[in-house]
Amino acid sequence: MTDDLFSSTVRSLVRDEIALVDPEVPKMIELLTKQGANECWHKHGTFKEHLFHVWRILKVWEQPDYVARCGLYHSAYSNSYVNLAIFKEHEDRDKVRETIGNDAENLVYLFCRVNRHELVFDRLLNGIPNDEDLVVPKEGMTLKHITTGEPIHLSREIIGQMLIMTMADLADQHYGWQDKLFLNDDGKLTYYGNNYTSLWPGTGKPGLWMHCCSRMGRLARSCLDENTKSLKMAPVFDNCTVILSRENERKALDLYWNVVMNMTESDKHEQALKDLEEAIKANPYIAEPHVLAGQILAQTSRFEEAEKHAAQALKLLGQWAAVYDKRISWEGWIAWSRVLLMNSRKIWPTKSFGILNLGLVE
């Protein structure tokens, strides 16, 4: 399947061959199910789905197994954000350690016991307003245990890993409903706003999280040195070298969503195509505008251009292992993009039943 665009890890995950990626993970997922993770609500699905998706992202980002396994259990003792303690800190650590390994469990414990919002947002993102100054201190940082108040020192490597995991966490879970809930109109993700009457799940509109995510990537990159050999950068934002501006993130979102909501009729498609191309220029790190642009181009027999957009969409979906437009699953966006890629090499249907008949790909 599109071998030149996807890694073997992505191919295995799309095919649901989890054991080929990490043979120990199926039993880890089984324990999450026994603990009721699939019965707990979490943002746009269940807690179990979210945990699995974070693990999936981290594996595609080629993180060490213990870091990815931490992602699979990352809030299992609850944390400073949510009360989702499906394991009890004082009773279940041995069980968790036996299941996911010592290194992974130790990282889960730190992830749950320090105030991650204070670390990532208050002291790093908002505490360092200038992009050129985004550097994690070489000596690491000390925070307090969220319940006992005792000091917990985090090395630079652990901070870098926490930043990468927080990027994965955001990529999977954040969408427009949280922006309404916390009044995140500026994309700073301060979580200071209070609009508790915002009705879940909202419209499904993508959220403003990518600017902050790109700044986290830059911070994580600053942690790379001779003492952080286990730290690997995510492939997104050009391997965490580029910061997406808030202005460009907002511009791309507004253009994309305007096309989604208002430009479905064929007589508006040329304007929609122009808006999608502008969205892509503003934010080249999202796949979905390419998918919509590719469809418009295929409908008008501009197959070579359509194929390029479909290929770029698949490349980006493979890099993120997550989606920007969360109305459709990652697997769903990949499946449709593959349909678009294959059919853009031939002919695009001109009948409604022809569209419904699409699906099988090589």
Q: What is the pLDDT of residue 88?
A: 83
Query: 29 CB contacts (<8 Å, ≥6 apart)?
Result: 18, 48, 52, 72
Q: List, in sequence order, every beta strand (DSSP E) within 191-270.
A: none
Q: Taking the CB of residue 188, how many other CB atoms lie within 10 A of it?
A: 15
**Element (DSSP H or E) covering residue 278:** helix 269-282
143 bridge partner residues: 152
Six token digits for residue 175: 């969408």
Average pLDDT in the 2-17 region? Answer: 86
Residues 122, 192 contacting (CB under 8 angstroms)? no
The whole-chain average pLDDT of the chain stands at: 92
pLDDT at 85 > cutoff 90: no
Average pLDDT in the 51-59 region? Answer: 97
pLDDT digits (tens, 9 = 90+) for 323-342: 999 999 999 999 999 999 98
Distance linking the first and last C-alpha atoms of the chain: 7
Of 203, 165, 207, which Cα lies nearest the Cα of 182?
207
Between vectors from CA 178 to CA 176 and to CA 179, what angle results, nearest 5°? 65
Cα dihedral: 352, 205, 241, 191 (round 10): -170
Q: List, in sequence order, every beta strand (DSSP E) within the chain.
A: 41-42, 45-46, 141-144, 151-154
Task: Please state, in angstroms and as integers, the Cα–Cα distance from residue 126 to each residue in 4, 189, 254, following that order.
Answer: 40, 10, 25
pLDDT digits (tens, 9 = 90+) for 114-134: 988 899 999 999 999 999 999
Given the structure tokens 């730290």, which residue do they identify?
231
Of 311, 299, 317, 287, which Cα lies nearest the Cα of 263?
299
pLDDT at 1 > cutoff 60: no
Of 168, 171, 198, 170, which Cα lies nearest the Cα of 182?
198
Q: What is the pLDDT of residue 6?
A: 86
pLDDT at 202 > cutoff 60: yes
Residues 321, 10 contacting (CB under 8 angstroms)? yes
pLDDT at 3 > cutoff 70: no
How does residue 354 score in pLDDT terms, banded at 50, 70 and 90? confident
pLDDT at 147 > cutoff 90: no
Radius of gyration of the chain (CA): 21
Of 211, 262, 220, 270, which Cα lies nearest the Cα of 240?
220
Give the pairing type, strands 45-46 and 141-144: unpaired
65-72 vs 47-60: helix axis angle to the nearest 10? 160
Side-chain-side CA neighbours of residue 241 (13 Å): 3
pTM for the full model?
Answer: 0.95
Average pLDDT in the 66-70 region? Answer: 96
Of 282, 45, 80, which Cα lies nearest the Cα of 166?
80
How does residue 223 score in pLDDT terms, banded at 50, 70 and 90? very high
Residues 220, 231 contacting (CB under 8 angstroms)? yes
Average pLDDT in the 153-158 region? Answer: 95
Phi, psi angle pair for 175, to nearest 5°: -150, -175
Q: Per-residue DSSP letters for 65-112?
A: HHHHHHHHTTTTB--SS---BSS-TTTSHHHHHHHH-HHHHHHHHHHH
pLDDT digits (tens, 9 = 90+) for 97-113: 999 999 999 999 998 88
pLDDT digits (tens, 9 = 90+) for 258-312: 999 998 788 899 999 999 999 999 999 999 999 999 999 999 999 999 999 999 9
Q: What is the CATH number of domain 246-362?
A: 1.25.40.10
**How far is residue 43's CA from residue 251's CA, in Å, rounded to a whole number?**
25
Given the structure tokens 């309404």, which residue do they identify?
180
153 bridge partner residues: 142
How does residue 79 score in pLDDT terms, banded at 50, 70 and 90? low
Six token digits for residue 279: 């969205």
Q: Name the residue ranges covered by the structural domains of the chain.
A: 246-362
Percent of the chain with pLDDT over 90: 75
Burial class (CB in 10 A: 0-12, 13-18, 19+), 296: buried
